[in-house]
Chains A and B, each alone.
Chain A
Amino acid sequence: MFDNMLLGLHALADPALLLAVLIGVVGGVVIGALPGLTSTMGVALLIPVTFSLPPQVGLAMLGGIYCASTYSGAISAILLNIPGTSASVATMLDGHPMAKSGEPGRAISLATFASCIGGMVSVIALLFLAPQLAEFSLRFGSPEYFLLAVFGITVIASMSAGAMEKGLIAGALGLILSTVGTHPLTGTMRFTGGVPTLFDGIPLVVSLIGLYSIPEVIDLIDRAKGTQSGAAGVDKTSPFGTLRELGRQKFNLLRSSLIGIVVGIIPGVGCSVGGFLAYDAAKKGSKTPERFGKGASEGLVASETGNNAVTGGTLIPLLTLGIPGNPVTAVLLGGIMIHGLRPGPELFTTNADVTYGFIFSLFLSNLLFVPVGLLLARYGLRVVQVPAGILAPLILSLAVIGAYSLRSSVDDIWIMLAIGALGWGMAALAVPRAPLVLGLVLGTLAEGELARSLALVRGDLGAFAVQLVTRPVALVILVLCVSAIIHGIIQHRRNSKMLE
């Protein structure tokens, strides 16, 4: 193995590979920072470019986009309260309040370095533990997936502390919205009103754009028309000053990285869930959980570390078993096969130079997006200085083209507008939006896997319940769910007593 690693390390001496990583990282940072553009889009668009390149150079470019775009969604999430990608929704919870209180530079620096660390730890896991961790992913069947979705849903309660019923209602609404479209097993159309665009459900990216950008723009228009005060000034925090702050959060960084890696290994779960679970764990483990949601650095660090750690985790089942963990890795799988490579043991032996070269290029990508991201953010920080009367139309036009570009459908713009109206209503009624997003993300997984689990036992609820307690991985997740619910209830009672 170490001989193969040296072969891979040697690939980093190739200037073409280094240039490919740089192009991928720069492209990824821009794509991730712009709401409406997704990592999947970036990777899919660059695959044809890689046809004429040697395999490790092409894969290095694609890996650069993947890592960088997962991180850079934090930039617009922090500055504009609009997630650049679905991975950065949890980042908004503390990133934007920190920016609004006059520390956007500190928020972006923390997010950048935390993402780098999360990404690097996950690549280390990929490098040394890929085959062993891949075996773990095979233990996940429908009951485990269902319980994992339930565990993710318990995070809704924790995120809504202080407004628990509102958060739970928002979460339930998100879960209901995820059922719009075709039932995963029976094919029944639900809540579509006969509109063909809704047959495939409500696209998550379009929902995120509507839910967050429309209320923000209305806020900006308010400000432009002079009914609200302006944003706080730009802070001049040195990026490297935040490294000392990160040094005090070693345990948070490690825990969030591990959560992200585990989430990434399980196919079909995604970066946004990694971010949310890491955020929730940080909140539960914090001595001052009441600061979360108001600009707590631990929350920001946890979500960014968690979501970037997912990237390396998703590559573990992809490279060892050929199982893509999310849409991006599904496209990457296409890229791998186009270059004549087959996922599996042979990728780490016969094609070791390509595979290890790719893995080491991911280290480089996670390092490179730090200066590229900080440089872009330095100009991005000026966004908060742009008059609201200019920013609002720009964001709206970006939201419209972003919503359209996902499926090249004008109907998606109307969906974005409808969800935007919902988002505005929620903001006006002080209902947290993050639980709705979590419900949207997890609903399809929860319902689909519940349906499959019940189909496997021919609808016998008793047999299904027995499975949940007799399968070892399912039992562990079930215990986690129960403890999360108990913790949520205790926290809620504590908060209620404090308010009295």
Chain B
Amino acid sequence: MTTRTRDLIFASIALVLALAIAITAFGYPVGSSYFPRTLAVLMGVLAAFFGTRTLLAPGDDATRVPPLNLTALIAAFGGIAAYVVVLQLLGYEIATYLFLFLLMFWLGAVGWLKSLILAVAFTALLNVIFFVLLGVPRPDGLVF
């Protein structure tokens, strides 16, 4: 993908987003929504202007951008989503330990034993900092 393509994608997404926000904002009473309405219109105009300028720019920019690593993306978002679901089922400690151990093991920086030790140690550390020292209420799990 070139920088030109990337910028066109951005302009398109920004324009669609501005339209969606504008449609929602215009559904609220005027007195409560003049600010988001104005901003959505501004955003749409800027996106259209940027997209047009990019399209009309000389097409000799062949600068390529690094490809996206979807594995890393899925690992991060999927991992957190699974973590939160398990947290609400099994409680904070088990969920955090499993999350840390499995992700460290998959990333392969250290072997399974070190991953296990680090996962337990860091879970304990977070537990002490947040729940003991700072008094943050522990999130409830369904089972534990």
* Residues on A facing B (Cβ under 8 Å): 34, 37, 41, 45, 165-166, 168-169, 172-173, 175-176, 179, 183, 186, 188, 190-191, 214, 217-219, 221-222, 224-225, 227, 387-390, 392-394, 396-398, 400-401, 404-405, 408, 410, 413-414, 417, 420-421, 424-425, 428-431, 443, 446-447, 450
Contacts and interface: CB of A to CB of B under 8 A. Distances in A.
B109 A165 contact: no
Given A190-B28, A397-B96, A408-B137, A176 B108 contact: no
Nearest to A430: B6
A424 B137 CA distance: 30
B32 A183 contact: yes
Contact of A176 (B10, B21, B123): B21
B36 A176 contact: yes
29 contacts: A45-B134, A45-B135, A165-B50, A183-B32, A183-B33, A186-B32, A188-B28, A190-B25, A191-B21, A191-B24, A191-B36, A218-B72, A218-B73, A222-B72, A224-B107, A224-B108, A389-B108, A390-B104, A390-B109, A393-B100, A397-B100, A400-B80, A401-B92, A408-B139, A410-B87, A424-B73, A430-B65, A446-B35, A447-B35
B29 A188 contact: yes
A169 B36 contact: no
Given A176-B39, A417-B77, 16 more contacts: A165-B50, A169-B47, A175-B39, A190-B25, A190-B28, A217-B76, A218-B76, A221-B72, A222-B69, A393-B100, A396-B80, A400-B83, A413-B80, A421-B77, A425-B13, A430-B3
B120 interface: no
Contacts of A405: 130, 134, 136
Given A221-B107, A227-B69, A400-B83, A390 B118 contact: yes
A393 B136 contact: no
B3 to A, nearest CB: 8
A392 B103 contact: yes
Q: What are the 4 closest A-B residue pairs judged by CB atoms, nearest first? A: A389-B109, A389-B107, A188-B32, A387-B109
B84 interface: yes
B33 A190 contact: yes
Most chain A beta-carbon neighbours within 10 Å: one of B13, B32, B87, B122 = B32
A400 B109 CA distance: 22
A221 B76 CA distance: 8
B90 interface: no
B76 A214 contact: yes
A480 B66 CA distance: 41
Contacts of B135: 45
Nearest to A459: B31
Contacts of B80: 396, 400, 413, 417
Interface string B16-41: 01000100110011011101100110
Q: How large is the interface on B (under 10, 10 to 19, 20 to 34, 35 or more residues)?
A: 35 or more
B6 to A, nearest CB: 6
Nearest to A223: B72
Contact of B110 (A45, A176, A387, A404): A387
Interface string B48-83: 011001000000000001001101110111011101
B134 A41 contact: yes
Nearest to B133: A45
Nearest to A387: B109
A396 B80 CA distance: 8
B43 interface: yes
A26 B89 CA distance: 36
Contacts of A387: 109-110
A125 B13 CA distance: 48
Nearest to A417: B80
A183 B110 CA distance: 50
A41 B134 CA distance: 8
Contacts of B116: none
Most chain A beta-carbon neighbours within 10 Å: one of B36, B42, B73, B99 = B36
Contacts of A408: 136-137, 139
Nearest to B10: A429
A429 B109 contact: no
Contacts of A389: 104, 107-110
Nearest to B106: A389
A436 B26 CA distance: 22
A413 B39 contact: no
Nearest to A399: B80
A16 B86 CA distance: 46
A394 B40 CA distance: 38
Contacts of A398: 126
B94 to A, nearest CB: 13
B108 A173 contact: no
Contacts of A425: 13
Contacts of A34: 129
A165 B46 contact: yes
Nearest to B109: A389
Contacts of B10: 166, 429-431
Contacts of B72: 218-219, 221-222, 225
A353 to B, nearest CB: 32
Contacts of B21: 176, 191
B103 A396 contact: yes
B77 A390 contact: no
A308 to B, nearest CB: 23
Nearest to B81: A417
A387 B114 CA distance: 13
Contact of A169 (B25, B32, B50, B129): B50
A413 B79 CA distance: 13
Contacts of A45: 134-135
A183 B36 CA distance: 11
B32 A176 contact: no
A169 B76 contact: no
A428 B68 contact: yes
A429 B107 CA distance: 26
